[in-house]
Structure 1
Amino acid sequence: MCNSKVAPDAAELAFAIGDVVIVSGLPGSGKSTLIERAVADLDAAGGLVARVDSQHVRDAWERGLPGRMPYAVLRPAVRVAHYVRLHRRLRPDGGAVVHDCGAHPWVRRLAAYHARRRGRRVHLVLLDVPPRVALEGQARRRRRVSRRAFRRHVRAFGRLVADAKAGRPPDGCRSAVLLDRDAADALKAIRFK
């Protein structure tokens, strides 16, 4: 049975070595920023912690492509490459932190499948920021998703947050940790011990 908890302001979140943590939130909510800032490169045993973030794929493609490709064209290609990378990075032993918008349940199911095969667990960290804050984040990074797509994200992520608050993390997830903006800013480390 899955547990769900709402995290108080904390400087650190700790998970078991080899577990998978999915950081989920609306586009522009600060998922990549949190992963970059808080996830240690190594777990407590010295094993490498995989960071699976679509932003890394996007940055690499933008550096390698001549000129500026419109985001509307780049985004679907990056998404496919990100999911292929996700599938590969979840196979080996070792912890992983995965960037996810929360709109695609199959991402959580894929992570849960690989974690179960290795005797590990999946945890969900939800960045619960208001849609207007996420839109401001999109404006800062100059990458806006369409209004239609954003509304779809808001609906899907809203269901995840409501379930977490009610103590019902998604199938396959051991726990759900809910962070508002202040709690996310206060979080200094996501570690595997």
Structure 2
Amino acid sequence: MTDLRDAGDGSAPATVPAGELRYPAGDVLVVSGLPGSGKSTLIKRAVAGPDQRGRRVRRVDSQDVRDRWQRAVPAAVPYALYRPLVRIAHYAGLHSALRSGDSVVVHDCGTLAWVRRWLAYDARRRGRSLHMALLDVPPEIALEGQTARGRGVSQYAFARHRRAVGSLVADAEGGRLPDGCASAVLLDRRSARALRRIGFE
């Protein structure tokens, strides 16, 4: 487990070595954290292909699927009516990405442990590894992020996210890797911004 957060004691802030996180080509990286913590922004900014084999790096973000559906569905139709279809489309896309054998980066809200178990099982079965990048961002900053993007979650859902992500952070601070993960890195907002590239080689 690697902790790249600012120590908060007046010492120099943690920095990402060489501005990069590097993983073996074909592995799977889960980027987890609170809604509004900057997961989608980090993935879009830092993940770029191809990997060292010349193959694409697949980015799987449920928000991208939701956005595509919202553009296709009349605005008068409430999202709640087609949310199940969005989820089905998201998991179908994730399944396809895993089957491709390409390097994969997955946006994860932290609350669905069964998804990480599935990813870990699939990676093991294919002779690959699962890794986690965990954004540790204060709840108030995450809420500001939700406001900035114009899209938030209910208080009930946010409380669930806080419990789940808090548990992941506590485990990481105690040196305990999430189930099935070969490695984990803890990032705060500063170290995430310092991260220029997530590469697979």
Structure 1 and Structure 2 fold alike (TM over 0.5): yes
Is 2:29 the partner of 1:21? Answer: yes
Could you say if the C-alpha distance between residues 63 and 19 of structure 1 is closer, same or farther in structure 2, counting changes exceeding 3 Å?
Answer: same
Within-5 A mapping of 1:31-180: 31-67=39-75, 69-73=77-81, 75-180=83-188
Aligned to 2:9: none
Rg larger in structure: 2
The worse-fitting range, judged by mean Cα deviation, of 88-97 and 182-191 is 88-97
- Measured against aligned partners, the alpha-carbon deviations of 1:18-60 in whole angstroms (never above 9, x if no partner) come to 1100000111111111000000121012111111111210121
Report how many aligned residue pairs link the two structures.
190
Task: Tell me the TM-score normalized by structure 2.
Answer: 0.89
Report the AA paired with residue 6 of structure 1: D
Give the share of equivalent positions with the same residue, in percent. Answer: 60
Gaps of 5+ in 2: 5-13
Over aligned residues, Cα RMSD in angstroms?
1.4
Cα displacement (A) at 1:92: 2.0
The worse-fitting range, judged by mean Cα deviation, of 70-79 and 90-99 is 70-79
Gaps of 5+ in 1: none
Aligned to 1:9: 15
Cα displacement (A) at 1:66: 1.7
Task: Tell me the TM-score normalized by structure 1.
Answer: 0.93
